[in-house]
Structure 1
Amino acid sequence: MSLALSPPPLSLGPHAHRSTLLPPMYSLRHLKLLHQRRRFASVAAAALRQDTTVWTQAPLSFVEPAAESLFHVTVDISDSPDLASSHTCAGQYLQLRVPDSSKPSFLAIASPPSLAAASGAFEFLVKSVAGSTAELLCGLKRGDVVELSPVMGKGFDTYRIDPPEDYSTVLIFATGSGISPIRSLIESGFSATKRSDVRLYYGARNLKRMAYQDRFKEWESSGVKIVPVLSQPDDDWKGESGYVQAAFARAKQILNPLSTGAVLCGQKQMTEEVTSILVADGVSGEKILKNF
């Protein structure tokens, strides 16, 4: 039930009866509520004016654990061919919104562009962070509907390290969920088999947190040597330990910096330190690719 309230007179004489007015506290409460509603309406209108993103609704077709705190998520975009065809390059990303959360999450597309074209699907590797949109996404199930923005970003400019005969060494670095766009790169092909030295330094806390281990054999058959690096390995681990940048600094093995390219994705400190090492060794900054 709502009450239609008339505003009080603009001025009152000294002998006016207060009994003809609204109760003071009720009137104050009402005005405060009115002010809040107008403020919220103003904020919502401003957000609406600023958000010109075109959102596409699409159902989830797969949500499964990929590693500790990481999930495989597949979105069915078969009814959105224009969205599928907009994924043209490994390293691109988009925004994703879920029900009950107004804040979108930025996600790199893990699948190669060919999958979107052939199967009408985007695959993601999502890190579940408490209190985030990503956590809500990882809690959804097959058939639940999410919203996707258009594909964004230029991706990895692999033309800068072509032809493969001129850039025989490509060093790839990834940490945590940063392996997501790297998977897209490897599986979309960048002539790895035509290069003599393609290495992937892939860092994670331990093997339980390392996604895509089931794809390692396939990646190596495509010409990529995988170097797992664990920062907190168990006692049985015999491989590289510590941080990715330290593992690379120990190995290096850059025969010719002029014929070397690199691709980086992951934790900021790693990308900055690896870039410094590469540039100090003579690798051109123009040949160090990032997807942002």
Structure 2
Amino acid sequence: MPPRFHNLTISDIDRFDDFAVAVRFDVPPELVDDYAFLPGQYLTLKTDIDGVETRRPYSICTAPGEAGIGVGIKRVEGGAFSGHAMTGFAVGDVVEVMTPQGRFTYDGHARSTESGDHILLLAAGSGITPILSIASTALAASRSAQVTLVYGNRNTASIMFRDLVEDMKDRYLDRLRLVHVLSREARDVDLLNGRVDGAKITSLVDAGLISPAGLSGAFLCGPDSMISDCRDALVQAGMPAADIFFERFTPAPRREGVPPPVVVAAAPAG
């Protein structure tokens, strides 16, 4: 069915200092099927800001089967919608939310997990939002599934969903390899300093932290330059381009009421 807006009530808000917020919506029983989604998809939110109808798409951060449906929103300097969400949203507010969309998806039921599905997830900043949903789903889908998550940020304080990521690592100690890479905070291990880019991926491959030959798929989410560099590095390391999927994040428009999206829907590589 074509995507449609419905009024959903905010059931929970989790603020990450002053730079991001996670917003969860209650989905009434009669709309559960409408809001069924695959990890990696996004929701478009619509609200009135100073008399201007404003829409923004945000990736779903929750996993299928959880109560309600949630998105992650990172504050953008001058961003009309993100600033409103940070300071104006409250539990109990009603927001117009479009049904899920997007082709950047992970379908655990469609993948072969009997032989031990091993996926690589690369995220930078708020790119963790859909990646978090994919990781949760993959690890819960099969006891043999493995995930390597490389997550880049400026510093520890700027890590979005830090507690959830660390909890996931503790829950799946033997199946989740978590690699934090920080660009503006010195780490004891030099390999963990810098940005998530092509050179970093090559270094992680050389160090044995990423094994392209053993991966069944890679999912990348972040800025365009990161996507292009990391994709090329993985292909050069021997991973088939057809097994690499990505979503590019672009800055939100600064002028209120301008409709270009926060997220550019992406297609499989190749």
Shorter-chain TM-score tier = 0.7 to 0.9
Gaps of 5+ in 2: 248-265
Larger radius of gyration: 1
1:232 matches 2:184:
yes
Q: What's the % identity of the aligned pairs? A: 23
Structure of greater relative contact order (alpha carbons < 8 Å, 6+ residues apart): 2
Q: Contact 1:70–1:128 at 8 Å: present in 2 too?
A: yes
**Could you tell me how far 1:260 is from its partner in structure 2?**
4.3
Superposed CA RMSD: 2.6
Distance 1:260 1:289 in 2: 11
SS of the residue corresponding to residue 112 of structure 2 reads coil
Q: TM-score, normalised by structure 1?
A: 0.71
1:184 matches 2:133:
yes
Q: Contact 1:97–1:147 at 8 Å: present in 2 too?
A: yes
SS of the residue corresponding to residue 194 of structure 1 reads coil
Of 99, 107, 112, the residue aligned with 2:58 is 107
Distance 1:249 1:128 in 2: 31
Of 147, 164, 170, the residue aligned with 1:215 is 164
Counterpart code for 2:63: P
| Stretch of structure 1 that moved more, 83-92 or 56-65 | 83-92
- Cross-structure match for 1:132: 80
Distance 2:21 2:147 in 1: 27
SS of the residue corresponding to residue 173 of structure 1 reads strand
Of 28, 36, 39, the residue aligned with 1:90 is 39
Distance 2:235 2:178 in 1: 22
Return closer, same or farther for 1:161/1:266 CA change in 2, 3 Å cut-off.
farther
Counterpart code for 1:98: T
Gaps of 5+ in 1: 1-51
Q: TM-score, normalised by structure 2?
A: 0.76
1:290 matches 2:254:
no
Distance 1:103 1:160 in 2: 36
Q: Deviations over 1:112-131 (max 9, x none)?
A: 0111xxx2x11111111223
**Could you tell me how far 1:144 is from its partner in structure 2?**
1.8
Of 15, 27, 34, the residue aligned with 1:77 is 27
Q: Deviations over 1:221-264 (max 9, x none)?
A: 3321110111111x5x3251111123322121354626542111
Distance 1:188 1:168 in 2: 12
Matched positions, count: 233
